Chains A and B, each alone.
Chain A
Amino acid sequence: GAVVSQHPSRVICKSGTSVKIECRSLDFQATTMFWYRQFPKKSLMLMATSNEGSKATYEQGVEKDKFLINHASLTLSTLTVTSAHPEDSSFYICSARGELAGGPRDTQYFGPGTRLTVL
């Protein structure tokens, strides 16, 4: 079964509004979570690294004031897209780094993704 969940799976919003996406690790504690965005038929681009209890580290070119990341607990990270615009429309995927019992070490488990459409 899924080990990382994301909510919502799809969201449509009006330009100028803010959208919050949740990422939860279900069967393990994730000290580190990652946020990616993926454009249609393209690869995944890392946006930021989120560590529990500390500020997120953003990749070059990613606006930290626009993409607010909070990692409030070892099982939850949130991404808020503030003042969304149509160019923010994308597939947002989170991943959580951790170890499942009997699973491979040092691997990331990906959430199902959130498709954001900004009108």
Chain B
Amino acid sequence: ELKVEQNPLFLSMQEGKNYTIYCNYSTTSDRLYWYRQDPGKSLESLFVLLSNGAVKQEGRLMASLDTKARLSTLHITAAVHDLSATYFCAVGLYGNKLVFGAGTILRVKS
């Protein structure tokens, strides 16, 4: 059974600071997704990582994938309040199924 572990589960950070969210998974996969969810809303796709060593950046967020270590990271640079949300990683399985991590609640304080 695939397990997807995110940490930390809750992150409170000051504006302007940097931090990394980690996503570890227990079985082979070459597809890793990051999503953002605002309270009461559905999921917004942030990144799709499809190969070992993939790195993608959008604004203050950068995601990477190491399939050998079964690890993906979401790095936040110079956080701003608008980044406050819940962030999920999800691992792709056969049949295009996704298994989600528990989510990281991010609160950026001014």
Contacts and interface: CB of A to CB of B under 8 A. Distances in A.
Contacts, number: 55
A106 B100 CA distance: 16
A110 B43 contact: yes
Contacts of A115: 40
Nearest to A109: B45
Interface in A65-114: 93, 95, 97, 104-113
Given A107-B45, A109-B45, A113-B41, A44 B97 contact: no
A49 B92 CA distance: 14
Interface string B82-99: 000000100010011111
Contact of A106 (B31, B44, B99): B31
22 contacts: A34-B96, A42-B102, A42-B103, A44-B88, A44-B100, A45-B100, A46-B97, A49-B97, A93-B42, A93-B43, A95-B43, A95-B98, A104-B48, A105-B50, A106-B48, A106-B92, A108-B96, A110-B35, A110-B42, A110-B43, A110-B45, A115-B40
Interface of B: 31, 33, 35, 40-45, 48, 50, 88, 92, 95-103, 105
Nearest to A51: B95
Interface string A41-63: 11111100100000001000000
Contacts of A41: 105
Interface of A: 32, 34, 41-46, 49, 57, 93, 95, 97, 104-113, 115
Residue with the greatest number of chain A CB neighbours at <10 A, chosen from B42, B96, B98, B99: B42
Nearest to A60: B1
Given A106-B48, A106-B96, 19 more contacts: A32-B96, A34-B96, A34-B97, A34-B98, A43-B100, A43-B101, A43-B103, A45-B100, A95-B43, A104-B48, A107-B45, A108-B33, A110-B35, A110-B44, A110-B45, A112-B41, A112-B42, A113-B41, A113-B42
A46 B99 contact: yes
Contacts of B95: 49, 57
Nearest to A110: B43
